[in-house]
Amino acid sequence: MKKIQILGTGCPKCHALTANAEQAVNELGIEAVIEKVDKIQDIMKFGVMITPALAVDGQVKSAGKVLTPEAIKKFLA
């Protein structure tokens, strides 16, 4: 099972990235846990300076942009 983490403090872009990640998981039909990381200290542990960011299985895949569901699927395949 994949672990997807959305790093961000809750801004509209963070919510959009979360929705896109959920859509990507549903379209792929895979099992995944989507976790929101919203504490600055926890976000900084990933080395991320700009949000929103997407991490898959503990590795940051993108920072500073809202990925489309299609882009997220590439990280999950």
pLDDT computed for residue 15 by the predictor: 97
User: pTM for this structure?
Assistant: 0.94
Distance from C-alpha of 2 to C-alpha of 50, rounded to nearest angstrom: 23
Per the structure, the complete domain to which residue 61 belongs is given by 2-76
What domain count does the chain have?
A: 1
Q: Decide: 35 and 77 in contact? Cβ < 8 Å.
A: no
Q: Does residue 73 carry a pLDDT above 90?
A: yes
Residues classed as catalytic: 11, 14
Q: Does residue 77 carry a pLDDT above 90?
A: no
Q: What's 59's domain CATH number?
A: 3.40.30.10
Burial 22-48 (b: 16+ CB within 10 A, else e): bebbeeeeeebeeebbeeeeebeebeb
Residue-wise pLDDT for 4-63, tens only, equals 999 999 999 999 999 999 999 999 999 999 999 999 999 999 999 999 999 999 999 999
